[in-house]
Amino acid sequence: MSTVTSDPLVGRVVDGRYRVVSRIARGGMATVYLAVDQRLDREVALKIMHAHLADGTEGVDFTSRFRREARAAARLAHPGLVAVFDQGVDGETSYLTMEYVDGANLRRTLHHTGTFTVAQTLDTLEAILDALAAAHRAGLVHRDIKPENVLVDTAGRVKVTDFGLARAVTEATTTTTGTVLGTVAYMAPEVIRAVGCDARSDVYSVGILAYEMLVGVPPHGGDTPIQVAFQHVNHDVPTPSGAVPALPVEIDELVCALAARDPQDRPVDAGAALHLVRSTRAALDPADLDVRRESAPRPTSEGDASLDAIPTTVFGALDDETRAVAIARAGGTRALELIGTGAETESVPRPRRRRASKVLVWLLVVLLVVAGAGGGGVWWFTRGPGAYTSVPDDLVGATRAEASERVGAAGLDVTTSEAHDDDVPAGAVVATDPGEGERVRKDGSVGLVLSLGVEMLTVPDDLVGESEADAADALTTAGFELGEAEHTFDDDAPTGSVVDVSVPEGTQQRHDTVVVLTVSDGPAPVTVPAVTGLEKSAAVDQLTGAGLDVSTTEAYDEKVPSGEVVSQSLEADSQAHRGDEVSVVVSKGPPLVEVPKVVDMKVEDATATLEKAGFTVEISELFGTRPLDRVLFQDQDPGAEIPKGSTVKLTVT
């Protein structure tokens, strides 16, 4: 892209953020610069409104329109639309920052190549219409589709830019100011006549682009914008094959449908036009797609007065004769503004309308129809708008019989297919192809898509007990969407296995039902109680109450009383899981020891023998003295087993 370094804005930082690098282009509303966003360190396109346009009362309205561009465009998010990042005012400078597209516009591309092949044309149309469809769905009309507003980046991607003339559809359908903004070479007749503007006006402009890409020049020309506008209003776009005979008839039909003078004969919006383009491509042979006009005239260069008049002529609601006089009076001027009520002006006297003129016009129409075999009428009724009708309205929601009757009454055949639908009752029409109100050949058919009602899916059996992965696979294979799994502790189900499903297994459920699996995390964790020293029953109660399985054994213990817990296999306060086993050892008291025989032994020896065996000895003298110093008898029978530490009483004499 060329740059202009002498521009006073080059090098300046706008609004303390955007450093202007170079000038990219200058248009009727604003100048576009390459700039660097110093805050985000990225290149942007900076669009600055011409200062003189903001002067005076009218300038307030123009500034408002300029700023509305940002609000309208910022609502759109599509890879085929140049993104608008920011809007602001720096002193007297109103600006927008937009995505910077490194490449060229379609005007320069055509100037370099001359024409496109059919395939390249269809590719470009699809990209433009796909982007415009996003805008039309959002309720916005571009109003100024032209080659300068179609950018092609260095990778060949197509982007639509400059929604500065776009307005909400509800605003665009009524012209309140009597002024039309746009480029006359691509402007729809209804816009020129200031009788309305909607999505079909953008479709018309795209049709003119299609013609130009195939032929090399726009379909309507003239020495002045007025003459070009007159052609749009009063003449149909010629078939491209008139200039390029090798083009297939399907391309003629496509271009004439997109650029039909009557908006009723065009696709209703860019989405419908995109469908038509794709249908046309599908009907073409590979050889058709390679057709290209090799010796095409060079496209008109940028800035030609006949192509880029902004603002351009407003014809208002003038009759044909007044319009003709206005054009004749305008001569070589760039623009003529006739505020649109049909009232007379000083410079353009309104001639008296003649009934004979109308009669002559209608007579010519009748003669044209009658002379159809001569060529024009044949085209009208076989390829042109006369070969088409519209798909009846009010088909969606109707029963099959009702819809078929309405389509048949329009002289069209009916084909049917079926599809599930969540809202339309079974047997009623869900959609039509083509859509309601869209063009269809009079010898064509309308496809009715009949509702099968809500799609129901079967929940697989035997999910409980399966692993989470296997159960999830079974459900997704059955067509269900899975929600985030829930988890629960379970004493019996292995970790990772399914313990519950949010819908009953084996039942029929809506296709949009989100199924949630409950998955086992195994037994719950528990803290092991401390039971050492407790009575056996108390210890068992505490351990089983914590969810642990308890096993007990008994052992002699000289220190722990009988019946109390001596030890536990899981350490107190450690972490375990419900169902884990813990073993406890319960004391049987001291061990049993055999009582030795100490009768007739000297008292000292008997005492030593019993103490060595682990007993405590208690001495009782029979006569208060022990002259013999011998054991007369012992209270525990020799050979008996009694707890170690027990007391053995000896009677001595």
Per-residue pLDDT band for 193 (boundaries 50, 70, 90) equals confident
Q: Alpha carbon of 543 to those of 19, 521, 561: distances in Å?
A: 76, 22, 20
pLDDT digits (tens, 9 = 90+) for 492-531: 999 999 999 999 999 999 999 999 999 999 999 999 999 9
Q: What are residue 486's DSSP bridge partners?
A: 518
**Secondary structure element (H or E) that encloses residue 603, with its range:** helix 603-612
Give the lowest-confidence range in 176-190, 330-344, 436-450: 330-344
For 1-100, give the CATH class.
alpha beta
In this structure, of 153-157, 172-176, 487-491, the range with the lowest mean pLDDT score is 172-176
Decide: 543 and 513 in contact? Cβ < 8 Å. Answer: no
Q: How confident is the model at residue 109 (pLDDT cuts 50, 70, 90)?
A: very high
Check if the beta carbon of residue 262 is closer than 8 Å to that of residue 236.
no
> Does 90 participate in catalysis according to the annotation?
no
Amino acid in position 170: T
| Yes or no: domain 391-451 corresponds to CATH 3.40.50.1000 | no
Of 313-322, 354-363, 582-591, the poorest mean pLDDT is in 313-322
Could you read off the pLDDT of 198-249 as tens digits, one per residue?
Answer: 999 999 999 999 999 999 999 998 888 888 999 999 999 999 999 999 999 9
Q: Closest Cα partner for 213 from 120, 306, 104?
A: 120
- Higher pLDDT: 594 or 350? It is 594
- Higher-confidence residue: 424 or 373? 424
| Sign of the dihedral defined by the CA atoms of residues 436, 437, 442, 444, in that order | negative
User: Quick one: which of 392, 459, 405, 449 has its CA closest to 426?
Assistant: 449
pLDDT tens profile 470-489: 999 999 999 999 999 999 99
Which residue, among 72, 95, 82, 118, has the nearest Cα to 12 in the 3D structure?
95
So what's the pLDDT on residue 55?
63
Q: Residue 644: pLDDT above 80?
A: yes
Q: Which of 24, 6, 188 is nearest to 100 (CA)?
A: 24
Top CATH class, 104-353:
mainly alpha
Query: 525-587 is classed in which CATH architecture?
Result: 2-Layer Sandwich (3.30)
Residue 259: per-residue pLDDT: 97
Q: What pLDDT score does 192 carry? A: 87
pLDDT score at 270:
95
pLDDT digits (tens, 9 = 90+) for 531-562: 999 999 999 999 999 999 999 999 999 889 99
Cα–Cα dist 316/248, whole Å: 37
**H or E stretch at 378:** helix 376-382
pLDDT, position 316: 32
Contact of 554 with 587, CB cutoff 8 Å: yes
Identify the pLDDT of residue 629: 92
Neighbours of 371 (CB within 10 A): 12
Q: What are the pLDDT digits (tens) for 246-305?
A: 999 999 999 999 999 999 999 999 999 999 999 999 999 999 999 999 865 655 444 333
pLDDT at residue 592 is higher than 90: yes
Catalytic-role residue among 130, 144, 288, 421: 144
Q: Looking at domain 592-652, which CATH architecture does it have?
A: 2-Layer Sandwich (3.30)
CA distances from 52 to 18, 593, 616 (A): 22, 122, 124
Q: What percent of the chain has pLDDT over 70?
A: 79
Full-model pTM: 0.48
Q: Residue 28: which pLDDT band, with cuts at 50, 70 and 90?
A: low
How much is the pLDDT for 217?
95
Backbone angles phi, psi at 558, to 5 degrees: -70, -20
**Per-residue pLDDT at 317 exceeds 60:** no
1-100 and 104-353 agree in CATH topology: no
Checking if the pLDDT of 568 tops 90, the result is yes
Residue 130 · residue 80 · CB < 8 Å: yes
Which residues are registered as beta bridge partners of 31?
Answer: 26, 48
User: How far is the C-alpha of 336 from the C-alpha of 318, rounded, in Å?
Assistant: 13
Domain spans, the chain: 1-100, 104-353, 391-451, 456-520, 525-587, 592-652
Fold classification of 456-520 is Trypsin Inhibitor V; Chain A (3.30.10)
pLDDT on residue 624: 84
CA distances from 471 to 463, 464, 651 (A): 5, 8, 84
